[in-house]
Amino acid sequence: MYTGADAQSAFLALRNQLGGGPGPKIISRKEWGAKSPILGGGRSYEKLSPNMKMFGAFDVPVGGVPIDLAKYYNTITVHHSGNGDNYMSIQELQEKEQNDGYADIPYHFAIDSKGNIYEGRPIDVKGSHVKGGNTGNIGIVLLSDLDTENKGLGYVNSIVESLRGNGGASTAMRQSLTDLVSHLNGKYGIQYLGGHKEKATDPRNCPGNGGMKIVEYLRNKLHMLSPKNEN
């Protein structure tokens, strides 16, 4: 008889066999003109296969053993950019995060209101998006303010954010998140899907009440588990 965990792993194995395919269009760092990461000074930028070197135009790996990302990743965490800004560009995001002391964009992917999917930090670099919870965890940020309640901001800041505007995710943004999560599922066999605040205590209520609704919907649709079930 299958227990819940066995059924889940059988399902994952099947999904991995069926998975793959080209997936949604992801705009590469090169295509969107990413700046280089800023290293040193306590900025976290951990390569998951530290001895790997890439060679030539097709990035042929030489030396070192590449980490098996399908074994490494088991979780996807969804964030929003917040701060009353529904139209932040990927370039603005990188600028902001590097100014805030990050080596690079802390997330692996970003999705804008038009549904464009951008490569954030490379997938073979450990994320830096959940305090104390980045191992095995792919970060996706929705470039929008999805918190219409502004809980936990304090009175003045919540008034400021309401005036600047916040809203729900656009249809294109939702569709791209669905496509991206499905694709990552097929590719890496991801078991857990959560919003940032489910992985950590976050006074900013990331990814907002609107973002959490999408996460819950996707969890159901894609038969994934809450990170609260993780042990």
Rounded-to-integer distance, Cα 152 and Cα 51, Å: 43
Q: Does 197 bind Zn ion (CB under 5 A)?
A: no
132 to 151: interface string for Zn ion, x by CB under 5 A: --------------------
By C-beta, is 12 or 146 nearer to Zn ion?
Answer: 146
By C-beta, is 189 or 207 nearer to Zn ion?
Answer: 207
Structure tokens at 170: 């656009």
- Indicate which single residue of 29, 121, 183, 196 sits in contact with Zn ion (rule: CB under 5 A): 196
* Residue of 143, 173, 127, 129 lying closest to 80 (CA atoms): 143
| Three-class secondary structure of residue 27 per DSSP | strand
* Residue of 121, 222, 114 lying closest to 174 (CA atoms): 114
The phi and psi torsions of 69 (rounded to 5 degrees) equal: -65, -30
Q: Does 190 bind Zn ion (CB under 5 A)?
A: no
Structure tokens at 217: 């919907």
By C-beta, is 119 or 145 nearer to Zn ion?
Answer: 145
Q: How near is the Cβ of 103 to Zn ion at its closest, in Å? A: 17
By C-beta, is 174 or 196 nearer to Zn ion?
Answer: 196
Give the angle 2-222-209 at the CA atoms, nearest 5°: 125
Q: How near is the Cβ of 206 to Zn ion at its closest, in Å? A: 3
| Three-class secondary structure of residue 69 per DSSP | helix
By C-beta, is 212 or 224 nearer to Zn ion?
Answer: 212
Q: How near is the Cβ of 190 to Zn ion at its closest, in Å? A: 18
By C-beta, is 53 or 228 nearer to Zn ion?
Answer: 228
Q: With CB under 5 A as the rule, give the number of residues binding Zn ion.
A: 3
Q: Does 174 bind Zn ion (CB under 5 A)?
A: no
The piece of 28-36, 147-155, 168-176, 199-207 that touches Zn ion (CB under 5 A) is: 199-207
* Residue 69 · residue 123 · CB < 8 Å: yes
Q: How near is the Cβ of 196 to Zn ion at its closest, in Å? A: 3
Q: Alpha carbon 45 to chain centroid distance? A: 16
Provide the Cα torsion 134, 142, 20, 34; round to 10°: -80
Q: Does 206 bind Zn ion (CB under 5 A)?
A: yes
Q: How near is the Cβ of 143 to Zn ion at its closest, in Å? A: 12
Rounded-to-integer distance, Cα 83 and Cα 218, Å: 24
Q: How near is the Cβ of 82 to Zn ion at its closest, in Å? A: 8
Q: Does 79 bind Zn ion (CB under 5 A)?
A: yes
* Residue of 10, 6, 26 lying closest to 181 (CA atoms): 26
- Chain contacts with Zn ion (rule: CB under 5 A): 79, 196, 206
